[in-house]
Amino acid sequence: MEKKTSRRRFISSLGLAGAGAVAGVPVLMRSTANATPAILGGSKAMPAIGTSWPIFGQLEETGLMNVVKSGVWGRLADNTRTAAFEKAYAAATGAKNALAVSSGTNALFAMLGALDIGPGDEVILPPYTFIATYNVIVLNYALPVFVDTDIESFQIDARKIEAAITPATKALLPVHIGGSPFDIDAVLQISKKHNIPMLEDACQAHLAEWKGKGVGNWGLGGAFSFQATKNLNSGEGGAIISNDETFYQKCYSFHHQGQSANSAGLGTGSGTRGSNLRISEFQSSILLSQLSRLKQQTETRNANAAYLTQLLSQIPGIIPAKLYPGTTRSAYHLYMFRYDSKAFAGMSREKFVDALAAEGVFASTGYGMINKEDYVTGLAKNPHYLKIYGEKRMQQWLDQTLQTPVNDRLTTEALWFTQTMLLGPRSDMDKIAQAIRKIHNHAKKIA
């Protein structure tokens, strides 16, 4: 009895400490922070970080075996797992329609296809993104126009979009990078003013919300990825969500060889181009199982990320990415922050990453300057592009493409933790912060 009471008291005092830490500001324990960093021979802050990925169990196994035994392995049948997943994903995101496709890249590709974007057209995108955002534009021989980054949020700088619009601009393709919303209100206002559709690259942003409404619902359509590292995973896979019935039908047709959902007839999808971008029943089965875990995982990531931000904001030289005020939920596919070496006795970012790794905390330096890589700049010499746009326009394009000073700087300061690091207990966040504090306190010696 005595034991029980004291244990209960202990738990409730822990609870109080926890509540206080959320309401006020959590404090790093001084003693741990002063310990010797692992890179200098001290003990590790964390023996293991986060969780393994993917997280799965009997649900996935049974679901998959049921598909095998049913003999229905593709979507062109009645009562498919794909149709069930589309219904569930539309409900989860608050969209009227969801269309499952074979990848996130193909979700973007189908949206551009539905708009019939092609040679001579321009599409606006940010440089701080995965290369797929760029690739789908170039696959259509349209011109990818980069708009610089807002260093505080890592997102496209909406204030710089209007200057990049020309009469040839046919779509805005901003990205919810890291799974946190870009400034949707600001981009949407420009989209409406110029009557240019906004397509959301929400490939990292499952269940993220802006003012309580799911991302991907704000523009004409939104694209999601279910590639193996993403927060919702079927190995490969993707989806489009849209509240515009005509646009949804066009996307369906594009992903189904130019046919409509209800008819196998060519051209019945009201477009003039198409491909096979269909998803399989195996993937949809896995997605249905994984989707049942997503909401809880998203809540865990958000709670841990909010707590981690409070801790990291107290360490000089560590600047967590800002969320725009309209953000009511992030997907936290990535926990993004900037590192200021000046506050760490000039320790290089790479050295800091090594010191963190020695503590058992693995950080990535994130995207490079994709708009300055040969792969992208080489477009100025691509014979098809020269034929379509002419030498003068392609030279102009190259000059403009290289003018992203804020993004250039960001790529030298950025660091990421991946989403699986946010799925463990809150004490993991304390350990991450302690590891960074230790390194900060011994920066001179490590640098």
In this chain, which stretch among 81-89, 103-111, 312-320, 352-360 interacts with ligand PLP, using CB under 6 A? 103-111
Residue 344 found at the interface with ligand PLP (CB under 6 A): no
∠ at Cα 28 (26, 32), nearest 5°? 155
φ, ψ for residue 316 (rounded to 5)? Answer: -60, 135
In this chain, which stretch among 101-109, 277-285, 287-295, 370-378 interacts with ligand PLP, using CB under 6 A? 101-109
- Smallest CA-to-CA distance from 251 within 109, 51, 140, 40 is with 109
- The residue with its CB nearest to ligand PLP is 104
* 155 vs 285 by CB, closer to ligand PLP: 155
CB 319, min distance to ligand PLP, A: 22
CB 57, min distance to ligand PLP, A: 24
> What whole-number distance in Å separates Cα of residue 441 and Cα of residue 355?
12
Question: Which residues face 336 on adjacent strands?
Answer: 416
145-184: contacts with ligand PLP (CB under 6 A): 175
Assign 146 to helix, strand or coil.
strand
CB 93, min distance to ligand PLP, A: 17
Taking only Cα atoms into account, the Rg of the chain, rounded to an integer number of angstroms, comes to 24
Residue 132 found at the interface with ligand PLP (CB under 6 A): yes
CB 276, min distance to ligand PLP, A: 15
Question: Which of 174, 197, 219, 238 contacts ligand PLP by CB under 6 A?
Answer: 238
∠ at Cα 140 (136, 146), nearest 5°? 55
Residue 397 found at the interface with ligand PLP (CB under 6 A): no
In this chain, which stretch among 72-80, 100-108, 165-173, 415-423 interacts with ligand PLP, using CB under 6 A? 100-108
* 175 vs 347 by CB, closer to ligand PLP: 175
> What whole-number distance in Å separates Cα of residue 328 and Cα of residue 213?
8
* 133 vs 418 by CB, closer to ligand PLP: 133
Residue 200 found at the interface with ligand PLP (CB under 6 A): no
Residue 156 and residue 186 in contact, taking contact as beta carbons nearer than 8 Å: no
Here's the x/- map for ligand PLP, 216-235, by CB under 6 A: it reads as: ---------x-x--------
Half-sphere exposure of 358 (CA within 13 A, CB side): 18
Question: Which of 104, 178, 216, 424 contacts ligand PLP by CB under 6 A?
Answer: 104
> What whole-number distance in Å separates Cα of residue 417 and Cα of residue 252?
35
* 217 vs 225 by CB, closer to ligand PLP: 225
CB 216, min distance to ligand PLP, A: 12
Q: Provide the strand spans (E) within 279-427.
A: 318-320, 327-329, 334-339, 414-418
Question: Which of 80, 82, 97, 103 contacts ligand PLP by CB under 6 A?
Answer: 103
H-helix or E-strand containing 291?
Answer: helix 281-312
Query: Is the link from the previous residue into 167 a cis peptide, with omega within 30 of 0?
Result: no
Structure tokens at 376: 């992208």
| Helix and strand totals (H; E) in the chain | 15, 13
Residue 129 found at the interface with ligand PLP (CB under 6 A): yes
In this chain, which stretch among 124-132, 263-271, 322-330, 339-347 interacts with ligand PLP, using CB under 6 A? 124-132
φ, ψ for residue 263 (rounded to 5)? Answer: -140, 145
* 323 vs 394 by CB, closer to ligand PLP: 323
Number of residues that bind ligand PLP (CB under 6 A): 14
In this chain, which stretch among 41-49, 57-65, 159-167, 196-204 interacts with ligand PLP, using CB under 6 A? 196-204
Residue 203 found at the interface with ligand PLP (CB under 6 A): yes
Question: Which of 80, 97, 133, 140 contacts ligand PLP by CB under 6 A?
Answer: 133
Residue 371 and residue 407 in contact, taking contact as beta carbons nearer than 8 Å: yes
377-385, long-range: CB < 8 A, 24+ apart: 377/401, 377/402, 379/138, 379/144, 384/119, 384/141, 385/141, 385/143
CB 225, min distance to ligand PLP, A: 3
* Residues forming the site for ligand PLP (CB under 6 A): 103-105, 129-130, 132-133, 175, 201, 203-204, 225, 227, 238
